A and B are shown apart, each in its own frame.
Chain A
């Protein structure tokens, strides 16, 4: 028998489910490469999956044309793959942001949370 999910589990599920949009939001601030992006995710919202699985996620977002990538020369060594958000990605992020706000607001009402 499984018990009710605890706060930490619920937060982890939310972080996992919203990771693609977190990635888009971070990249919307400016171009970034894998390691830098993962450091930012870890420090701002926390990683719930293995860091390595962010790379396939970036590949999927590229296939969906939400982000674009290019190899740029790096001072530290071989070229690095930098990612940027495309116009379509910015639109997807705006849509998610609006839907998220609406959903949170509706949930607040149901839960009786006052802000």
Chain B
């Protein structure tokens, strides 16, 4: 019975550790350089393991939870590691405008300039910039919508295939909106 309880506690402690480190990893990789994020993750994992290793096996669940509590919220840790200068957000604002409205008003060129400006940002992480580059530009969904929806209505046979172009347009728009929301949140941090 006691061995069963020990096993349950050990599994619960492992889950708590993994969940905490997963959250830290997600935040760190979004806001810090790759090397900084990796180093922070390894050190925090080592911190928890060192605390657990110094305790009797029967107490490991409690010790893991206590170590996690004492370490604090991953958001606070990553925020304190994020030493990007507060202040001007002009570049990010211009990039966001070009990636959204700019890509509609000045097709292709507006989006290209937006991506170039995004890469000069000091506030966005490399992941943010990659997403800004790889995500479909806002103008693209609007530009392809008439083509895709037109072909669906003229060539459709009433089957489920008709829904595919609409779904594609919605997918493009959703991906664009998701990336823009992420970038806008990263500016406010």
Inter-chain contact A53/B47, CB cutoff 8 Å: no
> For the side of the interface on B, what is the size category?
20 to 34
**Which residue of the partner chain A has the closest CB to B24?**
A52
Interface of B is mostly: helix
Inter-chain contact B46/A80, CB cutoff 8 Å: yes
Chain B residue numbers with a CB within 8 Å of A33 are 46, 50
Inter-chain contact A77/B53, CB cutoff 8 Å: yes
In the bound assembly, the distance between CA atoms of A17 and B39 in angstroms comes to 25
Least distance between A97 CB and chain B CB atoms (Å): 26
Least distance between B120 CB and chain A CB atoms (Å): 22
> For the side of the interface on A, what is the size category?
20 to 34
Contact of A78 among B39, B40, B46, B71 (CB under 8 A): B46
Residue interface mask A67-87, B partner, CB < 8 A = 1: 000000000111011000000
Kindly state whether residue A88 has any CB partner on chain B within 8 Å: no
Known interface pairs A33-B46, A51-B47; A56-B77 also in contact (CB < 8 Å): yes
Chain A residue numbers with a CB within 8 Å of B42 are 78, 81
Chain B residue numbers with a CB within 8 Å of A59 are 36, 39-40, 81
Q: Which residues of B contact A (CB under 8 A)?
A: 36, 39-40, 42-44, 46-47, 49-51, 53, 70-74, 76-77, 80-81, 83
Q: Which residues of A contact B (CB under 8 A)?
A: 33-36, 38, 49-53, 55-57, 59-60, 76-78, 80-81
